[in-house]
Amino acid sequence: MPHDRLVISHNARVTEVEALLLGDPAIRSILVEIDGETFCIDRAWFFSTLAGPLGHGRSLYARHPITRMPRPQTRALPAEMTLLDAAHAILERPADIRYNDVLVCFPNGRHGTIPVANLFAEVAHTHAYVGLHDPLTALPNRRLFLERLHDAHAGIGRGREQQRQLAVLFVDLDDFKPINDVLGHDAGDSALKTVAMRLSTPADPRMTVARLGGDEFGVLVEEPAGEPEVTALARRIIAALSSPIELDDATVTISASVGIAMAEREATAEELLRMADMAMYAAKRNGKNSYAVYSDSMHARASRRLELRSQIEAAVGRGEFTLHYQPVVELEGLSLTGAEALLRWERPGEGLVGPDQFIPLAEQSGLIVPLGTWVLQEACAQAVRWQREHRHGEQLSFAVNVSPRQLEDPGFVDTVARALSASTLPPGSLMLEITENVLIKDFESVLTRLAELKQLGVRLALDDFGAGFSSLGYLSRMPIDVLKLDRRFMLELGGTNQRGLLNGIIRMAEALDLVVVAEGVESELQLAELRAARCPRAQGYLFARPMSAVGFTEQLLSTYRPTGRSPLPSGSTAPLAGSAPLLGARAA
């Protein structure tokens, strides 16, 4: 303990402290704890306020404990306390007994005094900095980015004679969510810090790099030499971010899509950022890990998508959606074994709208959840009608595709249970199809949801197998019954390598007790290859196009027999407009 400071008990009397101070003139201050707070009593304040002018032992407070004396003006706080916590500690006391100074007790036993006014000035500065910067990466946040964009954009008009330019780059990391889901948020945060560092290197006084939120970053370039310099910067950003990132337990590779907007005098700062955002989405549609420069056509396309989204919402209420059905065929004997329900939008005056136009928008907006609920209810009700009206209808299974958003919905299992109960459809007659891409988001959570669905008694199919990461380890753990080969597999069928792969997949499926269904069968050659590989089932235009419930009844069910050759019509091999399966899958 330093010799210039005295620590006393809160029970000590004024006369006792006075004697100690008079006995050692080197003691400059006293520390005492009163009601849980540590106070610093300056030597001069003690003698002027507590001891009083009458001298030793003759003060009004002479025989009173220190705790009954007027509170000193300085409070002692630990050095490890943050400035914000120190400010709160000061403000907790009533205004009439607040402190002028704060004594900081340092770990080595020394102490120093900070004026309260200085402390609050520092807190205000820190608060302003925090409000304008991202706490994880220390980059400017969206608010500061927009402020600087506003200032830079205002200068364009003033400097038009000098042909001043301005560019905004919107950087969005591709498929970043699986890093958080698989490796954890700490790993994701570490990766984002690395991304921030790479975006900020090398430092350029003309550039402002900001984290706009999540895995989105913005780059403001003031007075670039022109569009070629900005596109060259975009290429450098993409190259820098593509280098592997070493984390504690893994190495990850990140790609990015970059949208570029060159400043226009007529556009506001917010509009420039939106234009860069639209260009970024164009880069993603072009295959990701690339850049795109904004053009007016992008705005027209975005407006069209927004209009279509509102029309989808209205169409749900007007009942403009309907289901078509495509048969699934047992290849031995070409007999009917089931059907897949495919969503169609019949717009008045325009005919059928292709699912590729409205399903992604429904998915993004969340409308896919109520729309998917309607599909389940309608498909189950139709399946029951067929089972009741046709002698062998109960032997058929009916498939409905499930979107990732539906599978993430906490109430989805109850939705399926209610659809089965309301329609009285036997659970074993319903097959739910999921795609491989839902597995990479949160495999363990998906497994839990699939197990809950299996408890209902429904069957499960893994759709588009071969289009994703296709891991045997994942397959062996999933409670699925059917494996549906992606239609792109059919397009490449015929080569020696592809034939061997097909045989391998079918043998693997047999070992896992899974039924294989080949999608997209359009030619006799493909059918022959599938039969040679002993693939049990298939669907596609070779057998029949998707058709309405009435057409399915008249063309297939009216003459269906469970054994022998089925009267399946020979379908055209030409693609059918709007024939993609339900919820974003491709045409079978």
Select from 107, 130, 153 the last residue of a domain: 130
Taking residues 299-308, report their average pLDDT.
66
396 and 535 both lie in a single domain: yes
265 and 223 both lie in a single domain: yes
Whether residue 15 is contained in a domain is answered as yes
Distance of alpha carbon 70 from alpha carbon 134, whole angstroms: 44
Say yes or no to pLDDT of 567 above 50: no
Asked if 439 contacts 476 with a C-beta cutoff of 8 angstroms, the reply is: no
Q: In this predicted model, which residue has the larger pLDDT, 396 or 469?
A: 396
143 and 93 both lie in a single domain: no
Whether residue 309 is contained in a domain is answered as no
Select from 130, 151, 185 the last residue of a domain: 130
110 and 141 both lie in a single domain: no
User: What's the pLDDT score for residue 378?
Assistant: 93
- Does this model's pTM top 0.85? My answer is no
If we measure between CA atoms, which residue out of 411, 433, 431, 550 comes closest to residue 486? 433
Query: pLDDT tens, 434-446?
Result: 887 666 556 777 8
CATH number at residue 97: 3.10.580
User: What's the pLDDT score for residue 132?
Assistant: 83
Select from 111, 130, 149 the last residue of a domain: 130
Say yes or no to pLDDT of 3 above 70: no
Q: Is the peptide bond before 202 cis (omega within 30 degrees of 0)?
A: yes
382 and 452 both lie in a single domain: yes
Whether residue 335 is contained in a domain is answered as yes
Say yes or no to pLDDT of 190 above 60: yes
Say yes or no to pLDDT of 303 above 50: yes
353 and 436 both lie in a single domain: yes
Q: In this predicted model, which residue has the larger pLDDT, 271 or 455?
A: 455
Whether residue 33 is contained in a domain is answered as yes
451 and 546 both lie in a single domain: yes
User: What's the pLDDT score for residue 175?
Assistant: 81
Taking residues 264-275, report their average pLDDT.
79
Query: pLDDT tens, 90-121?
Result: 777 665 555 555 555 555 555 566 667 666 77
441 and 471 both lie in a single domain: yes
**Least trusted range by pLDDT, from 67-76, 171-180, 412-421:** 67-76
Q: Which two tokens stand for residue 16?
A: 């006792």
545 and 413 both lie in a single domain: yes
Domain count, the chain: 3
Distance of alpha carbon 195 from alpha carbon 188, whole angstroms: 11
Taking residues 361-374, report their average pLDDT.
82
**494 φψ region: left (φ > 0), alpha (ψ -120 to 50), beta (else):** left
Whether residue 399 is contained in a domain is answered as yes
Distance of alpha carbon 46 from alpha carbon 22, whole angstroms: 12
67 and 108 both lie in a single domain: yes
Asked if 361 contacts 354 with a C-beta cutoff of 8 angstroms, the reply is: no
Whether residue 126 is contained in a domain is answered as yes
Round the average pLDDT of the chain to a whole number and report it.
Answer: 78
Say yes or no to pLDDT of 60 above 50: yes
Q: How far is CA 260 from the centre of its chain?
A: 23
Query: pLDDT tens, 127-149?
Result: 677 778 888 988 999 988 998 89
User: What's the pLDDT score for residue 161?
Assistant: 46
User: What's the pLDDT score for residue 70?
Assistant: 63
User: What's the pLDDT score for residue 426?
Assistant: 94
Whether residue 528 is contained in a domain is answered as yes
At 323, the pLDDT band (50, 70, 90 cuts) reads very high
Sheet strand arrangement including 207-213: 207-213, 216-222, 166-173, 256-262, 291-293
Say yes or no to pLDDT of 587 above 50: no
331 and 290 both lie in a single domain: no
If we measure between CA atoms, which residue out of 402, 478, 400 comes closest to residue 446? 478
Q: Which parts of 331-396 are beta strand (E)?
A: 335-347, 351-353
Distance of alpha carbon 455 from alpha carbon 125, whole angstroms: 58
Name the residue range of residue 176's domain.
135-294
Q: Which two tokens stand for residue 480?
A: 């699925």
Say yes or no to pLDDT of 159 above 90: no
Whether residue 208 is contained in a domain is answered as yes
User: What's the pLDDT score for residue 2?
Assistant: 46
Asked if 443 contacts 485 with a C-beta cutoff of 8 angstroms, the reply is: no
Q: In this predicted model, which residue has the larger pLDDT, 188 or 566?
A: 188
Chain length of the chain: 588
Q: Percentage of residues in the chain with pLDDT exceeding 70?
A: 74
Taking residues 289-297, report their average pLDDT.
85
Half-sphere exposure of 79 (CA within 13 A, CB side): 9
Asked if 325 contacts 546 with a C-beta cutoff of 8 angstroms, the reply is: yes
Residue with tokens 């770990």: 107
Distance of alpha carbon 192 from alpha carbon 280, whole angstroms: 19
Q: In this predicted model, which residue has the larger pLDDT, 80 or 17?
A: 17
Distance of alpha carbon 422 from alpha carbon 374, whole angstroms: 12
Of all helices (H) and strands (E), which one includes residue 385? helix 368-389
CATH number at residue 275: 3.30.70.270
Q: In this predicted model, which residue has the larger pLDDT, 85 or 221?
A: 221
290 and 412 both lie in a single domain: no
**Secondary-structure percent of the chain, ordered helix, strand, coil, rounded to 5:** 45, 20, 35
Taking residues 184-194, report their average pLDDT.
89
